[in-house]
Structure 1
């Protein structure tokens, strides 16, 4: 069957706008027992004022973001609320933008819960944030790892013994994380999660890259609403049009990056040639001076001022 390619931001947005589908997807990715899920206001593009690149290039570099407030059931049966933050980018060199947005989330005054102390008084504590990064570029050193899990390890500094207790203070300030390493998903089908995330495997895409070919029966029954949602996206003309716009942005980005790389290469070559010319000139000056040629004549022959000769000679 044909499904829309969720590596495109517009397709992923369409997928996650379905509350039931989003809950299935995030429950699988996080491994959490999600009881309810609420999509929070979204941020699609970066602030162009923070970037001196052409506007289209900035748009093509934008990181797609989705935030959810999730009520989850803990292992001990208690219920709590966390923020699940999804940041999706085609590139791995956007870590500063990731950090900037994550920092904004920590500063968001709406992401808090009331915590009651033993004396009966209550205070505000930040909600735990679980970031999920979906990256379209291979991560060096993790080429064969499709899903990278970053966990918290709390321990006694003196003894090194792990501590398994929890506290709102720690939950509010330190976080776990998940990275979906899209290029490493190819042929990785070792468990149900990797089977689900194969929807991002670009080896399944057709020639125009917008459409992917998959077999619905390759996915566990509980994940099939996700596949059907992506199948429905193929029929949405607006989704198809925006995928074409994303292609145009990416093509412009590639051209821009190529021009930058070429300019850098030319600059490096010019610097190398200049350094080589200076080195040869210094060698000529030292040779002539060792042969007893007067400084005035050396300067005249090489087109230098007398003031330059002592420095070169030194």
Structure 2
């Protein structure tokens, strides 16, 4: 079965528009039952400085409630390619979510900040860690005894967060867990040819509970707005990569020019020092260099 590639923002948005599937995906990644979910894409546009190209990005935010009755805000980011500005953009976005006065829940007249959870889908591998799915979890400890603390405090929960990082290039056909099985729909090894918009996946190799996901992604292929949006994403990515390559080249040229300037200065100083040395030798020999 051919499905639309969910690494594209437009496809992922189409997928998460089905609330039940969004609940299934997020609950599988978090490893807990979700009883309520309100998932909304947050759209951002920006004009590239010297290009008539609008950068369109989607960030996904979902307010969830688990079986224990706990509410949290889940932030989902998909990054197809690696750029030097990614970390600062992620930090700014995360900071804006902490500062957003709407990220609260009113309980019996009291406002409580929603604890945050972040999920990053990376289209590029990390430098050192090879695990396809990484969980960065918080634990409370008594610093003196080093004993684990089971209780949870709203103050701490509101100011710290857990993270899940999914390295899409590290996904393998031989999955080892339910979450890796789910994430096979992101496995870029399943691209059948040169068209990166499409993945080829065998429905009978997918667990029954995940088949609604691939069926919806299959339907996405017939959605003209989704296909057009993928084309735009490709254009934007290519343009951003060109800009980064240009910036890299300009930085290299600038560094080379600075190095050449420093080398010329060193050579000038060496020549001056040699001249002074020779003058000193002539003077010591009683020879007038101007004679």
Task: Name 1:125's counterpart in structure 2.
Answer: 112
Offset at residue 255 of structure 1 (A):
1.6
Tell me whether 1:83 sits opposite 2:83 in the alignment. no
Offset at residue 261 of structure 1 (A):
1.6
Q: RMSD between aligned alpha carbons? A: 2.1
Offset at residue 115 of structure 1 (A):
5.4
Match of 1:260 among 247, 254, 269: 247
Shift in alpha-carbon separation, 1:241–1:263, aligned structure 2, 3 A: same
Greater shift in the superposed pair: 197-206 or 223-232: 197-206
- Indicate if the aligned counterparts of 1:186 and 1:202 stay in contact, CA closer than 8 A: no
Match of 1:65 among 59, 69, 84: 59
Size of the aligned set, in residue pairs, is 278
Alpha-carbon separation, structure 2, partners of 1:251 and 1:272:
31
CA deviation profile, 1:235-256 (whole Å, cap 9, x unmatched): 1111111111111111112222
> Secondary structure at the residue paired with 1:250?
helix
Task: Name 2:134's counterpart in structure 1.
Answer: 148
Alpha-carbon separation, structure 2, partners of 1:147 and 1:288:
65
Offset at residue 127 of structure 1 (A):
1.3
Tell me whether 1:100 sits opposite 2:92 in the alignment. yes
Normalising by structure 2, we get a TM-score of 0.88
> Secondary structure at the residue paired with 1:190?
coil
Tell me whether 1:275 sits opposite 2:265 in the alignment. no
- Indicate if the aligned counterparts of 2:133 and 2:165 stay in contact, CA closer than 8 A: yes
Alpha-carbon separation, structure 2, partners of 1:153 and 1:68:
23
The structure with the largest strand share of the pair is: 2
Shift in alpha-carbon separation, 1:193–1:45, aligned structure 2, 3 A: same
Task: Name 2:4's counterpart in structure 1.
Answer: 4
Residue segments in structure 2 that go unaligned for 5+ positions in a row: 281-291
Residue segments in structure 1 that go unaligned for 5+ positions in a row: 117-121, 294-314
Greater shift in the superposed pair: 231-240 or 80-89: 80-89
Offset at residue 54 of structure 1 (A):
4.5
Task: Name 1:137's counterpart in structure 2.
Answer: 124
Normalising by structure 1, we get a TM-score of 0.82
Task: Name 2:286's counterpart in structure 1.
Answer: none
Alpha-carbon separation, structure 2, partners of 1:29 and 1:210:
24
Match of 1:180 among 152, 166, 182: 166
Could you list the runs of 4 or more consecutive aligned residues of structure 1 that deviate by over 6 angstroms after TM superposition? none
